[in-house]
Chain A
Amino acid sequence: MMRPSSISLRRPARQILFSSVSTIRAAAPVPTTATHRSLSTSTSTGSGCPCANGSRRPQVKQTQELQQQQQQRQQRQHRNAYHSYDHPSSSAAFTPVEESILSAAYQHVPSHGFTPSALAAGARDAGYLDISPTILPEGAFALIRYHLVKQREELAPRVSELFGGEGHVGARPGLSEWEIRGRVEAVTWERLSANAQVIGRWQEALAIMAQPSYVPPSLKELALLSDEILFLAGDSSVDPSWYTKRASLSTIYAAAELFMTNDHSPEFMDTRAFLNRRLREVNEVGGVFRNLREWVGFTATAGVNVLRSKGVRI
């Protein structure tokens, strides 16, 4: 039903596409039909062959450019690099084609989960072939990463709304520590609430993220998220607590996310209480360390000053 001759691919694009799907070329109709059939049984609105679907031509032509863009993107994602306001680097984490497939597939997550079939359905919705998600080397994990990246990027406008339209960058210098704690809690909760729409599928996603090859990118996203939360909350510490705050917030966030997948309370009240308890604990432990350091510092200075007053030349 879907002959390769009906697809007018330009030659380089075809080579790349087929080399990435390796053996498909020899037996092109078979796997395509198989994927398609399984999809049309699972979606009630399956409309048959994708070539009949509004007669949209497959747009797989810019595959070469895509690969270049992917490389550039990997270079671009430099952690905690200088963030310029006047000369912002483009922050697009996905290429336009990936973006269109993933955003369409994201709509299928509540029904299909973070699975290849959601990706295939999304590709079809976006007007591509069912096999076009093969341009996403990470498969279903790409969909999870899309969720993580998008929700992180949407956090800034939502937080600015939350705090009364105030720009977040150094808008109000000299927030007290107490205020910052409250803001950290509010921003973290804002991000957790964004998981609500996919919460039924989030355990699957966490399982995929825990696969060894996906652990590093997942942890990187977690680190970027905790950095974003603390920055949006207005925490301006640039000493070693920069590290401890990010580490503890990452732990708390991951735990709260896991807790939330089993939370059936209205509006996730239990999760919010859980989050508050964890944050309070960290603040208490941090307070103990701070007091200890202060005491040691005070005692040492006092000792040195006593010796100096006795005429010891130090």
Chain B
Amino acid sequence: MLRPATRPALVATRQVRQCAARFFSSPVSPDTSSSHVHSPSTTPETNPAPPPPNSRSSTSSSKGKKPLTAEQRAFLSSALRVNQAGELAATLIYTGQTPPLVTRDPSLRPLMKHMYDQEAAHLRTFNDLIYRHRVRPTALYPLWSVMATGLGWGTAMLGKEAAMACTEAVETEIGGHYNAQIRKLLEMVSEWEAEGYEVGAEFRHLINTLRRIRDEELEHLDHAVEHDAQKAEPHWLLTGVIRAGCRGAIWVSERV
């Protein structure tokens, strides 16, 4: 179903996938093993060698769960905030794109509906997480709403190719962004495991949720490339501008 991987977007997809595969396969990322701090007093026999990955739940019951540090909480807050803002924007982009696109090409209706439904489910997931973990939502909520609707409607007015190029650009950025978050979370978890602490179900669940959502976003990227995203004129300009905009919005949402 996919075309040969000579095109840059597919190469990008593949790189993101490989990244993802690496984090799936190795629970302890190499650069964290040196940075963690052993607490000297307890369980000296488990400290020198971190437990093998398959026996993690049985060995780590002695020390309980480690409280989050201020930096970790700040990271988690900004991560959830930016994810909610991103999913809100994605929902509105598809809402804006659907009517003009479907009027021109009714065969796109199921695809647009499928992608919209997935994004709406992601938004619900993050709304719930933000409420449960008491994170402040982004203060620029109205701004992102207007800009995302405008982006979706504007690219759809430029044509199907431009709309798909928009999806391609957005989902590439988002995929990389989710991967960075998952990487950071796995570093936290492996650090805890190396120190002999337990890891709560909350974190395992969060990581699994992020992985699932990341995979669905990358699936949208594939759909966009299959539907002639690369034929947009001028492709480099559209994707470049949208990707830069995404990075800017992510940067701002992490802070405000």
Contact = CB atoms under 8 A, between A and B. Distances in A.
Interface string B67-91: 1111011101100100010000000
B133 A82 contact: yes
Contact of A80 (B68, B104, B135): B135
Contact of B73 (A78, A90, A240, A242): A78
B52 to A, nearest CB: 23
Which range contains the number of B residues in contact with the other chain?
35 or more
B99 interface: yes
Interface stretch (B53-61, B174-182, B196-204, B234-242): B196-204
Given A75-B70, A314-B157, A85 B200 contact: yes
Contact of A87 (B66, B130, B131): B66
Contact of B100 (A86, A87, A238, A314): A314
B70 A313 contact: no
Contacts of A11: none
B65 interface: yes
A242 B68 contact: no
A81 interface: yes
Interface in A53-107: 75-76, 78-90
A88 to B, nearest CB: 6
B136 A83 contact: no
B68 A239 contact: no
B27 interface: no
Interface of A: 75-76, 78-90, 169-170, 227, 231, 236, 238-240, 242-243, 308, 313-314
Interface of B: 65-70, 72-74, 76-77, 80, 84, 99-100, 103-104, 127-128, 130-137, 139, 141-142, 153, 157, 200-203
23 contacts: A78-B74, A80-B77, A81-B74, A81-B77, A82-B74, A82-B76, A84-B68, A84-B76, A84-B202, A85-B202, A88-B67, A89-B69, A90-B67, A169-B132, A170-B128, A170-B132, A236-B128, A240-B137, A240-B141, A308-B103, A313-B103, A313-B104, A314-B157
